[in-house]
Amino acid sequence: MTSKSSFWVNLKLNAKRRTWNLAVFAIGFFFMLPVTLMVGLSSVKSRYIPEDEYFVEAIENAFRGVMVLNPFTVFIITIFAMIAAIHGFSYLYSKKKVDMYLSVPVKIEARFLAIFVNSIIMFVVPYLIFLLISVVIAGTYGFTNTYIIKLAFITFGMNTIYYIAVYAVTTIAVMLTGTLPVTVLGACTLLAYENAVKFIVMIMCGSYFSTYNSLTNKIFLNTWLSPIGIFAKYYTEVSEAVYYEQSIMPAVFKTGIHIIILCIVFMAVAFWLYKIRPSESSQKSMAFKKTKTTIKRLIMIPSVIILGVAFDEAVGRSIPMAVFGIIIGILLTHAVIQAIYELDLRAVLKDKRSIIYVGVITAAVFSIFRFDILGYDKYIPNQSKLSGGAVSFNMPFIQNGDYYSDNFRYLSFNEYSLNNVEIDDTSLMYDLAVAAADCQTEMEKMEDTNNYYEYQEEYRFISGVIKYTMANGKNVYRDIRINAERNAELLDRVFNNEGFKQNYTMLYNDVLNDYDNIIVLFSNHINDCYVENVKDFIEAYKKDFGEINYSKFKDINPAGYLRFTVDVYSGELGRKRTLSFDFPMFNEFKNANAVLKAEGIEINHKLSPDDVDVIKVYPYERDEENNTIEITDKNELKQILDNAVLRESDRFGLIYRSSSGYDICVQLNSGEEEWYNFIEGAVPDFIK
């Protein structure tokens, strides 16, 4: 008969057996929390005095770095969870202990629950105690920020459910195996497998698909089953939220619910395996015979693929070397896993069918990526399944801007454009896809010929990133190249599209509508002038900017650039941030130019030979007979000035117009210097 108090008796007995676990956890948290915090706070106190304006901020950063955003703590928690799970069920590794436990009149559910509850208690209690002590210690140094203290306790809760999730996964590994070394390897495999496979696929996409874009990585960074992957993403989101002083609660709720669900599912699986686990499986590598081959093949396939890719890339793309790497990988991984399974080197000759299965699957997967069998780089979406999309071109004046999300987090220009541009013209998106695929095909045909570089020089290419928004809500990202000379009309259609024009830069963003809070600076490299009539100028500039298209502006150099500076107040603390945005200023912007002229600002910056003392041309490739060229002849000076572009202007043009090969230093009569580059294809003969 099972005693009603057997659970509590078993709980106490289990806790007594695992006293050393509690001691290790307590010592670990003691050094991780209060000791580390005191070191950090003492360092702050040695560098600042309490009256210093940076003292409070430094104390807050020290506390947050230890108690909230501490990756080392997460690493140690992972180790603690694995120790708790393995030691809690360590009796399963001994047949004598299993027989002894089975002879005790305690229900299997009560025994499993007692081990689980003790594993939670030995983690939560020391963690909470030393967290409270750390808060008190920080208070003695003048730390009083209740918001950061709140974050510390939220972190405590999130770390706890993360601990339970890792504990559950490790428990599954314990139930599937019969020896300690295999359990550790199994736990590490289960925790890392999903992210490892996604990482391998991501590497292969980046290596073999020329149109693969890093924004696609978001798919691979979304982890569903691995607590480590989920928590790594959570830490990234929390770090960004804390940095930008935004609420971390959306990330907390999303990740918390996700991990709690995984905890329930994983613990249910672990308990089910615990109930059906054969008692005679102790000291065997795998507890269930049916899982041995499946698990081995699941480990072998990604391992062999990554070896094939490594050998292929190591020698600059070589099919024979890739095949060699795959063969070596199959034999090596098969031998290692078999030896671990059977604890006998002679066992490497067993289960030869796995070699064949893994070889066929690996060769198929590798070939799909290596030879682009599915046509990834030639992807053209079905127009009937498109709902719209976005495109972001790698153009100088776009890249020189600063881009921010709605809560003023910094974004790359591609992220901003693709997240904000909404082109609902499906025919335009389809035509862009066709042009990109044609360019890709043409480039591949020329790649292995002597005409490849001549082809690149003959035609102007516009590269960028495109997002296809499908009718089912899915987004497909691709790097693209467009033959601009052949597709000028298509590029004009893009620039004339209202969804593109209004959103691909931050010029029309609400942040630049607060005219009273904006400072506008015009610069043409030599002269800097502030605009007084900000409202009229920005409205005029927006009107002119909206008329930019490819055909009209592709060969026009800006007269200078504009810098818009605005103060915003963001974050939960409402701290001031200063944002700046750079845009080109063209002579062709009639409305904006009229406002500047009314203020006496002349934007034209054109040198004549009479302004120049000497021009020095520096060839990139120099030898004893090819040194710096000095030009003083008026006619030659004029030829250089007519065929060169100011380096600063080139950085803000619609496209880069300069060619490589020479640096041009123009030394003015005033003693100042300006740097130019020759326009592409316009190097004078006397320079050549």
pLDDT at residue 642, rounded to an integer: 87
What does DSSP say about strands 560-570 and 612-619: parallel, antiparallel, or unpaired? unpaired
Q: Give the whole-angstrom CA distance, residue 104 versus residue 95.
A: 15
Residue 136: burial class (beta carbons within 10 Å; 0-12, 13-18, 19+):
exposed
Asked if residue 665 lies in contact with residue 616, where contact means CB atoms within 8 angstroms, the answer is yes
What does the alpha-carbon distance between residue 104 and residue 390 come to, in Å, rounded to a whole number? 67
* pLDDT at position 459: 60
**174 and 184 belong to one structural domain:** yes
- Is it the case that residue 1 has pLDDT exceeding 50? no
Phi, psi for residue 561 in degrees, rounded to 5: -140, 160
Place of tokens 């107040």: 569
pLDDT at 497 over 60: yes
Q: State whether 440 and 480 are in the same domain.
A: yes
CB atoms within 10 A of CB 475: 15
Q: In this structure, are 254 and 374 located in the same domain? A: no
Q: Which tens digit of pLDDT belongs to each residue from 46-58?
A: 888 877 778 888 9
Same domain, residue pair 180 and 62: yes
The reply to whether 202 and 308 lie within a common domain is: no
**Where is the domain boundary, 253, 285, 317?**
285
Alpha-carbon torsion angle 81, 83, 89, 94, nearest 10: 160
Clarify whether residues 107 and 245 are in a common domain: yes
According to the model, what pLDDT value does residue 2 have?
44
Query: Across residues 180-209, what is the average pLDDT?
Result: 93
- φ, ψ for residue 614 (rounded to 5)? -160, 150
The Cα–Cα gap between 531 and 583 comes to: 14
Residue 33 lies in a domain: yes
Whether 688 is in a domain gets the answer no
Q: Examine the domain organization and report whether 164 and 251 are in the same domain.
A: yes
Q: For the segment 413-440, what is each residue's pLDDT rounded down to a tens digit? A: 888 989 899 999 999 999 999 999 998 8
Burial (0-12, 13-18, 19+ Cβ within 10 Å), 60? middle
Q: Which helix (H) or strand (E) holds 406?
A: none
Domain annotation covers residue 362: yes
Distance (Å, whole) CA 194 – CA 661? 48
Query: What average pLDDT score do residues 505-520 get?
Result: 89
Q: How confident is the model at residue 660 (pLDDT cuts 50, 70, 90)?
A: low
Q: At what angle do helices 227-243 and 249-276 cross, to 10 degrees?
A: 170
pLDDT at 3: 47
Residue 627 CB coordination number (10 Å): 10
The model's pTM is 0.83
State pLDDT tens for residues 218-257: 877 788 999 999 999 999 999 988 877 788 999 999 999 9
Torsion, Cα 314 319 325 330, to 10 degrees, reads 150
Segment holding 615, helix H or strand E: strand 612-619
Note the pLDDT of residue 41. Answer: 93
Residue 300: inside a domain: yes
Backbone angles phi, psi at 464, to 5 degrees: 175, -165
Lowest mean pLDDT among 79-88, 298-307, 446-455, 484-493: 446-455
In the numeric block, which tokens belong to residue 350? 């067993």
Grade residue 447 by pLDDT with cuts at 50, 70 and 90: low
Indicate the residue among 564, 598, 632 that finishes a domain.
Answer: 598
Task: Give the 3-state secondary structure percentages of the chain, helix then strand then coil, rounded to 5.
Answer: 60, 15, 25
Secondary structure of residue 444 in the 3-state scheme: helix
- Residue 327, classified by CB atoms within 10 Å of its CB into exposed (0-12), middle (13-18) or buried (19+), is middle
Residue 618 lies in a domain: yes
537: Cα separation from own chain's centroid:
38
**pLDDT one-digit tens code per residue, 549-559:** 899 998 888 98
Determine if residue 245 is left, alpha or beta; phi over 0 gives left, psi from -120 to 50 gives alpha, anything else beta.
left
Same domain, 228 and 81: yes
Q: Range of 229's domain?
A: 6-285
**pLDDT at position 209:** 94
What letter represents residue 315's amino acid? V
Q: Match 């990133």 to its residue by tokens.
A: 465
Q: Let me know: does 366 contact 373? Beta carbons within 8 Å.
A: no
The reply to whether 685 falls in a domain is no
Average pLDDT, the chain: 88
pLDDT exceeds cutoff 60 at 451 = no
Is residue 1 a part of any domain in this protein? no
Whether the predicted pLDDT of 453 surpasses 60: no
- 520 closest CA partner among 507, 508, 509, 531: 531
What local confidence, expressed as pLDDT, does residue 519 receive?
93
Q: Average pLDDT of 39-64? A: 87
- 65 and 142 in one domain? yes
In percent, the amount of the chain with pLDDT more than 70 equals 94
Nearest of 392, 381, 387 to residue 433 by alpha carbon: 381
Residues 99 and 79 in one domain: yes
| Residue 591 CB contacts under 8 Å (≥ 6 apart), including other chains | 540, 541, 543, 544
The answer to whether residues 632 and 682 touch, using CB atoms and an 8 Å cutoff, is no
Are 368 and 383 members of one domain? no
Q: Number of folded domains in the chain?
A: 5
Same domain, 113 and 65: yes
Mean pLDDT of the 511-531 span: 87
Q: Which of 570, 598, 626 is the last residue of a domain?
A: 598
What does the pLDDT average to over 579-595? Answer: 93
Whether 66 is covered by a domain: the verdict is: yes
